[in-house]
Amino acid sequence: MATRSSSLRVVFWGTPEFATAPLRALLGEGFDVVGVVTQPDRPVGRSRSTLVPSPVKEIALAEGIPVLQPEKPRGEEFVAQLRALEPDVSVVVAYGHIIPKAVLDLPPSGSFNVHASLLPKLRGAAPIQAAILEGLPETGVTIMRMVPALDAGPMLLQVSTPIAEDETYGELALRLSELGALALIEAMTLVAVGRAREEAQDDARATYAGKIDRESARIDWTRPTLDVCRRIRAYDPKPGAFTEHRGAALKLFGARRLPHVDRPPGEVVEISGEGMVVACGEGAVRVLQAQPAGKTRMAPEQLARGRGIAVGELLG
């Protein structure tokens, strides 16, 4: 016998690994996922000749779900394809493009988003990184109805979680993806049975997390150790916080705070099996891994053995 959830026809919009747990949850709980919208296959490798599907597309293909991959989610042909799927709702998780209002409004029950923050805090493209950079004690996920304004729609459900002291972007994103999957199932079940309640956001309390660019990942050694550690954690594993060393970028990972050392900011104070110690404006940071340009991550001690770095050198 069909359940109320399985009778709800869902079009799922998503692209990266973060979106896979919510999609799997919908499928596992019996929701009728009638189509997937994801970004086009992208070239990878040095030659850029191999096209790779998104993690969401891989799941859709394995499950036999129709896949739509428009360059942008607009145009008569795409809208006709979407309408032909006859969705009751759209669920959007890290899709990667702005969706026009006409497309958001196409499903009779509307479109809903899994956003990785406790809205109205940290609206925008990079809320997980921003939560770490700002040193927030907690973050979470919000299930909201989508409107044309950026992440400003009414909220159906929020779930919070503490941020661990040394938690990286990658670790926190994995937890929030799983948390978002659980919250999504609860919210969509309420939508399916007509019991969802929506709460307007307080726009006066809104903050924003802009897109990540290269310069935002640059380490400023004149900052206190707490700030430097947060930056390294916020961009681990990607794009990787970096500093300049001998004229080339050097990415750093696995930061731990240390007390003050009497050295200029950016000076390499120590290299050992425990990592590399670098002086900051206040305190110092111990880095567990380094990644020179074009190479893989390695222990700083390994980099030093290859004369890749030495105590007394200045970074930045």
pLDDT for res 2: 39
Asked, for residue 313, whether it belongs to a domain, the answer is no
How many structural domains is the chain composed of? Answer: 2
Cis peptide before 154 (omega within 30 of 0): no
Residue 205 and residue 220 share a domain = no
Asked, for residue 1, whether it belongs to a domain, the answer is no
Single out the residue in 209, 243, 264 at which a domain terminates.
209
* CATH number for position 259: 3.10.25.10
pLDDT exceeds 70 at position 7? yes
Residue 226 and residue 205 share a domain = no
- Please, which pLDDT band fits residue 247 given cuts at 50, 70 and 90? very high
Rounded to an integer, the average pLDDT of 179-197 is: 97
pTM value is 0.94
- DSSP three-state, residue 125: coil
Residue 154 and residue 14 share a domain = yes
The pLDDT mean for the chain works out to 95
Question: DSSP string spanning 260-301?
Answer: --SS-TTBEEEEETTEEEEE-SBSEEEEEEEEETTS--B-HH
pLDDT for res 307: 78
Distances (CA, A) of 214 to 75, 170, 290: 32, 18, 17
What SS3 string covers 228-248? HHHHHHHCCCCCCCEEEECCE
pLDDT exceeds 50 at position 271? yes
pLDDT for res 49: 78
Asked, for residue 28, whether it belongs to a domain, the answer is yes
Asked, for residue 310, whether it belongs to a domain, the answer is no
Per residue in 64-82, pLDDT (tens digit) is 999 999 999 999 999 999 9
How much of the chain is helix, strand and coil, in % rounded to 5? 30, 30, 45
Residue 182 and residue 107 share a domain = yes
pLDDT for res 5: 55
Asked, for residue 4, whether it belongs to a domain, the answer is no
Among 205, 230, 202, 226, smallest CA distance to 217 is for 230
pLDDT for res 6: 52
Tokens matching residue 51? 């096209």
Single out the residue in 193, 209, 225 at which a domain terminates.
209
Asked, for residue 312, whether it belongs to a domain, the answer is no
Residue 283 and residue 170 share a domain = no
pLDDT for res 45: 74
- DSSP three-state, residue 63: helix
Residue 281 and residue 138 share a domain = no
Residue 38 and residue 181 share a domain = yes
Single out the residue in 141, 176, 209 at which a domain terminates.
209
* CATH number for position 20: 3.40.50.170
Rounded to an integer, the average pLDDT of 290-312 is: 93
pLDDT for res 128: 98
Asked, for residue 314, whether it belongs to a domain, the answer is no
Q: For residue 229, give its domain range.
A: 215-305
Per residue in 277-286, pLDDT (tens digit) is 999 999 999 9
Residue 110 and residue 156 share a domain = yes
pLDDT exceeds 60 at position 12? yes
pLDDT exceeds 90 at position 102? yes
pLDDT for res 306: 83
pLDDT for res 157: 98
pLDDT for res 1: 33
Residue 296 and residue 159 share a domain = no
| High-pLDDT (> 70) share of the chain, % | 98
Asked, for residue 3, whether it belongs to a domain, the answer is no
pLDDT exceeds 80 at position 47? no
d(CA 104, CA 92): 10
- Please, which pLDDT band fits residue 117 given cuts at 50, 70 and 90? very high
H/E stretch holding 90: strand 89-93
Per residue in 121-157, pLDDT (tens digit) is 999 999 999 999 999 999 999 999 999 999 999 999 9
Residue 250 and residue 194 share a domain = no
Residue 148 and residue 32 share a domain = yes
Rounded to an integer, the average pLDDT of 183-206 is: 97
Residue 228 and residue 111 share a domain = no
